[in-house]
Amino acid sequence: MKNLYEEIHDNVKRALAEDIDTGDLTALLIPEDKALSASVISREGAVLCGVRWFEACFLALAPEMKFDWFAKDGDLVQAGQRLCEIEGHARALLSAERTALNFLQMLSAVATQTRRFVDAMAGTKAVIVDTRKTLPGLRLAQKYAVKCGGGINHRFGLHDGILIKENHIIAAGGIKRALKKAQEIAPPGVFIQIEVESLQELQEALTAGAQMVLLDNFTLSELSDAVALTRQHAGERVVLEASGNITLDNVRKVAETGVDRISIGSLTKNIQAIDLSMRFA
């Protein structure tokens, strides 16, 4: 898997190529040697995220561009707050403006939504976990944003974790067989998680030696029963994760059932960009 620096470079390269293609025609209105300065302002409260993607957009076009930030990734910013000042080549500022803001707005949105869920269940033992329901090509970026918002990352892809879902169980011939095969093929350090949809399936998974269980679309009472059953059977050694139809309105109640993790796909797929603007001096 690529490191974060390589990922940022690739993300920005593709995004700029998509927008600029053979050249920014409108930027040609500006003298080639002209310099400009600009400020980025937040129009709403948010958790800032995406500083390195934002900078990389401008630096790809003008390596001498200068930045002065007044907040960093993970900081809570307020409406009307000035986030940074930029100074450098005018054409580069204008050409990269939209792409840079797109990254900053989208990643700040993911971090902000994550923080809302984290805050909603503060004081419980549960943690918020992301999923693979990410924007194509931007998984590492969005998972970075989840961490900035106070959540933790699940597997990054099909290559670094085994999650046995309903269709895998059917194809493998049942929960016991699926777990046994997973235990045989799992590389060292790779976790094995199995999804269950009922208390009966949970009991079967525990009996088969499951160490990590995803409780899919359980009701609150079922989650509480699942926690009690698991602790009675295996103590604290089995990690329980709740998933499905979890919102800001019910996440605290889910956490209070005693589950260890709560995974939420909407952190990365149902997002509304944070309102940011760039003002030129």
List active site positions. Answer: 98, 133, 165, 195, 216
C-alpha 194/C-alpha 142 separation (Å) is 24
Closest listed residue to residue 88, CA positions, set 80, 79, 98, 96 = 96
Give dist(CA 103, CA 105) in Å, integer. 6
The encoded tokens of residue 21 equal 């293609």
CA distance 182 to 184: 5
β-strand partners of 85: 39, 68
CA 89 to CA 73: how far, in whole Å?
25
| Token duo for residue 272 | 């509304």
Q: What are phi and psi of 84, to 5 degrees?
A: -160, 165
Q: Is 123 helix (H, G, I), strand (E, B) or coil?
A: coil
110: nearest Cα among 67, 150, 72: 150
- Please provide the DSSP assignment of 226-265 as one string: HHHHHHHHHTTSSEEEEESS--TTTHHHHHTTT-SEEE-T
Helix (H) or strand (E) holding 124: none
Look up residue 131 and give its DSSP letter. -
Pick from 279, 260, 275: nearest CA to 121: 260
